[in-house]
Amino acid sequence: MMITKTSNVKRISRKNIVSPKGFKAAGIHCGLKYRKSDLALLVSEVPANVAGVFTTNAFQAAPLLVTKSVVKETGKMQAVLINSGNANACTGAQGMKDALEMQQLAAEKLGISPNLVGVASTGVIGELLNMEPIHKGIQKIQPCSTIEGSIQFSQAILTTDTVTKNVAYSTVIDGKEVVIAGTAKGSGMIEPNMATMLAFVTTDANIESVHLQGALKSITDLTYNSITVDGDTSTNDMVLVMANGLAGNQSLTPAHPDWEAFVEALHAVSQDLAKMIAKDGEGATKLVETEVTGAETDAEARMIAKTVVGSPLVKTAVFGSDANWGRIIAAVGRSGAKIDPNAIEILIGTTTVVKNGTPVPFSEEKLLVYLKQPEVKFTVHLNKGLGKGIAWGCDLTYEYVQINGTYRT
């Protein structure tokens, strides 16, 4: 998919989930975690059209199944209730009962139908939810349209994340400002399609669910499905987009003259969130970007890029600031894509290290300085076709092993 660039799409400073008209949010500590916030609620003033993409893991958590049903059966959503600290995954009939109870309690609090409420959970797999603090938390939580509410929301959905992840863009549709904002969590087990990733996107655009779903699906491969931290896929993860129409534009379709501006803004929000997740990989110190050009197809280019950023040997080389291009070329070669070994060119930063499949002399000292930067880029020119793609990941550190070696203890 090509994303058309327009002059109307701009990143805005009010980068929070309630920036679009008609949304409220909140986050509180209810007691699932020892101290940190662990219950979040996002609400639209009116029922919103909704789109979603979900994990492909064969084991899908109860809250995900509940939310997927809302998206597919109604195409509308007015609220999402999220808990962190417990994934409610692989918990059998009781887990489904608890997820449905969360949906029902949130609906009763807000005075809306349960089939307008999505549910999401993140945390430890295989443990039953403690529903008592959730009961109390739902009664206590009070969504609001202030930046404080959005900050609390973004904090309450975190697990091993070190930072909150928020972004917002605006564009002009039918002469009216339309805002798209997003908040995400994700730090480990990031290997879409999808991963330990929850992303919630709000917009006041007027767009029917079928067209919103089409736009999200087309963007997902370029963004959320182009990141990896550790090659593992989780059980809970989803991206939801809620569009409540309060901007007042004419209904968006692919035939609308401002359709490309909307898609570009949604892509910008999604790409920023995806990169934030990759950068905040558990224990990570560096964001790694790999750009591939000259592949036979865009899909093959993305496959190669993702193989490179997902390679444990590449990731450890980045951690050690080692300009070991052999690890990059080995990852390209095992990606499964069609390549010509004699045509490949590889750059680390702006320094060419391989040309026509053979080494090029370079300054180790210069690349050592470059590889110590917080963001590192590899470029692979295959010189075979017109396909191109980008993927993002992070380095692999001692801290990653420590975090995941003691996750439950």
Question: Of the residues 196, 203, 235, 307, which is catalytic?
Answer: 196
CB neighbour class for 386 (10 Å; exposed up to 12, middle 13-18, buried from 19): exposed
CB 284 within 8 A of CB 400: yes
Q: Is 171 left (phi over 0), alpha (psi -120 to 50) or beta?
A: beta
At 67, give phi and psi (nearest 5°). -70, -40
The pTM of this model reads 0.84
Domain 10-279 and domain 287-405, same fold? Reply is no
Classified by CATH at the fold level, domain 10-279 comes out as L-amino peptidase D-ALA esterase/amidase (3.60.70)
Whether 92 and 48 have beta carbons less than 8 Å apart is answered as no
For the chain (length 409 residues), average pLDDT per consecutive 10?
A: 73 91 97 93 98 85 95 96 93 96 98 98 91 97 96 92 91 96 72 62 98 94 77 74 98 96 96 87 80 94 91 90 93 90 96 95 95 95 94 77 59
Residue 309: partners with Cβ closer than 8 Å, 6 or more residues away:
227, 228, 278, 288, 289, 290, 315, 391, 392, 393
pLDDT of residue 408: 54
Residue 196: active-site member: yes
What residue spans define the domains of the chain? 10-279, 287-405
Task: Give the position of tokens 């590192």.
Answer: 376
The DSSP bridge partners found for residue 84 are 122
Residue 184: per-residue pLDDT:
94
Q: Is residue 54 within 8 Å of 92, Cβ to Cβ? A: no
Pairwise CA distance, residues 381 & 106, whole Å: 51
Q: Report whether CATH 3.40.50.720 matches the domain 287-405.
A: no
